[in-house]
A and B are shown apart, each in its own frame.
Chain A
Amino acid sequence: MRRWSPVWIAGIVAVVLAIGAIVWGLRGAARLGPVVESPGNLPLPPGPRAKAGQLPRNLEFSGPDLTQRDDQGNPVWSARSKGSFRFDAPSRRITGTDIVWELKRGTQHARIAARRMEVAVATGEVLFADGLTLSAGPGQTFALKQARVEPGTWKVIGEGSVRWVWGRFRVSADSLVVDAVRKRVRLRGDVHLSAQ
């Protein structure tokens, strides 16, 4: 019977160890999952790292863009950030800075520029704040402090020093609701229309 030489035994052990190391490494990587990163592959701030499986359904990152799709895979809205997006797993919120958000759903179109955006993953609600302007078409540009987009109806509900130029009227109000479907704007609070 042929005896194994020490060289052969050492070689086999080395190969087994190498295979084990590779398998262990792959399993570890699979357990961690793909890391959700901010656009431009900027490093995420310290904190819990999210798995791809924790992202809301139909929400995806692609470079500096964040896109919400419907069940058929059609884009409902997309946001582009000059800064970064961040998914915070514990609070299940995606935050973005210096963003331009666009709703494109059939004939509906709305555009929001804001310094801060937040997506509540649980509800699908999108919130905006700081330096916010909303445009729903020609002559329909609003400035206000904060707004949220209601999922499903896609109404924009905003408040805080609402300003709007409607024809020859400069309009101010405490709050507003813009219905992009019905092409209606509702203003509440101390509403003042001023024409020169």
Chain B
Amino acid sequence: MKRTVILWAATVGAGLLLALGAGTAQQKVLHGSVADIYATDVEVDLATGVATLTGNVRVQIKGAYDATMTAPTIVAKQSQEKNQVISLDAQGPVNLDVLTKGADGKQFRVTARCSDSATFSEQTMVAVLKGNAHAEVTGLPRAEAVESARYDGDTLTVDFKHNKIKLTQAHVNVEMAPEAEKSPAGTKQ
């Protein structure tokens, strides 16, 4: 039987429970990955390397893990050398779906959304979702310990490099599988 832990706090920092690949691979979300961006209207400023994408914008990244961001408008900024996307700025409502690829076979799905805006920086590998942010982290059946957590807050920060989620004005609901209950690490409050 699953055990549920509910937590309210002004700020919560939590391990993402992500089983990401190790090493430099996890530092290359866009650079060195396959990225596909779809939109119905794109305006590119050739001088600054900034592209403004509108109309059912979908950004798909496949690399260290698979990530999809959807939003009505996303502004993508390329580096001066035009060899990498430095940042993505999305105007809400924004949806972010991440499927991890752990070296040990564990997989987790992070489904996040917010109503206002979201930013993602390739350099810091941090995604920040603002305004009624919500995230669900679910261990897939293939994972040894099936766990899930729901995060609600004003601002949700997902740090892919350090596998952390940070929330402000947070409400956290964690469900742990029986196997996870045996582990002391699973009882975080």
* Chain A interface residues toward B at CB < 8 A: 136-137, 139-140, 166-169, 171, 173, 183-196
**Does A183 lie within 8 Å of B47, measured CB to CB?**
yes
**Does A191 lie within 8 Å of B42, measured CB to CB?**
yes
> Nearest A residue to B37 by beta-carbon distance?
A193
A169 and B31 alpha carbons, distance in the complex (Å):
11
* Chain B interface residues toward A at CB < 8 A: 30, 33-47, 49, 51, 53, 78-79, 81-85
**Does B42 lie within 8 Å of A167, measured CB to CB?**
no
Chain A residues with CB below 8 A from B84, complex form? 168
**Does A137 lie within 8 Å of B36, measured CB to CB?**
no
**Does A188 lie within 8 Å of B41, measured CB to CB?**
yes
> Nearest A residue to B30 by beta-carbon distance?
A195
Q: How far is the CB of B18 from chain A (nearest CB, A)?
A: 24
**Does A186 lie within 8 Å of B78, measured CB to CB?**
no
Chain B residues with CB below 8 A from A183, complex form? 45-47
6 A-B residue pairings within 8 Å (CB atoms): A166-B82, A183-B46, A185-B44, A186-B44, A191-B41, A191-B42
**Does B40 lie within 8 Å of A190, measured CB to CB?**
yes
Q: How far is the CB of B144 from chain A (nearest CB, A)?
A: 34
| Contact A191 B45, CB 8 Å, known A166-B82, A167-B78, A168-B83 | no
| Contact A167 B82, CB 8 Å, known A185-B43, A193-B42 | yes
Q: How far is the CB of B39 from chain A (nearest CB, A)?
A: 5
**Does A192 lie within 8 Å of B36, measured CB to CB?**
yes
**Does A186 lie within 8 Å of B34, measured CB to CB?**
no
**Does A173 lie within 8 Å of B46, measured CB to CB?**
no
**Does B44 lie within 8 Å of A187, measured CB to CB?**
yes
Chain A residues with CB below 8 A from B78, complex form? 166-167
A139 and B41 alpha carbons, distance in the complex (Å):
20
Chain A residues with CB below 8 A from B51, complex form? 166, 193
**Does A184 lie within 8 Å of B41, measured CB to CB?**
no
A167 and B35 alpha carbons, distance in the complex (Å):
13
Chain A residues with CB below 8 A from B82, complex form? 139, 166-168
**Does A184 lie within 8 Å of B40, measured CB to CB?**
no
A194 and B62 alpha carbons, distance in the complex (Å):
11
Q: How far is the CB of B58 from chain A (nearest CB, A)?
A: 10
Chain B residues with CB below 8 A from A191, complex form? 37-42, 53
Chain A residues with CB below 8 A from B79, complex form? 167
Q: How far is the CB of A196 from chain B (nearest CB, A)?
A: 6
**Does B35 lie within 8 Å of A194, measured CB to CB?**
yes
Q: How far is the CB of B122 from chain A (nearest CB, A)?
A: 12
**Does B42 lie within 8 Å of A186, measured CB to CB?**
yes
**Does B83 lie within 8 Å of A184, measured CB to CB?**
no
> Nearest A residue to B85 by beta-carbon distance?
A195
The winner among B35, B39, B42, B49 for most chain A CB atoms within 10 A is B42
Chain A residues with CB below 8 A from B81, complex form? 167
A162 and B116 alpha carbons, distance in the complex (Å):
33
**Does A195 lie within 8 Å of B40, measured CB to CB?**
no
Chain B residues with CB below 8 A from A190, complex form? 38, 40
| Contact A185 B36, CB 8 Å, known A166-B82, A167-B78, A191-B41 | no
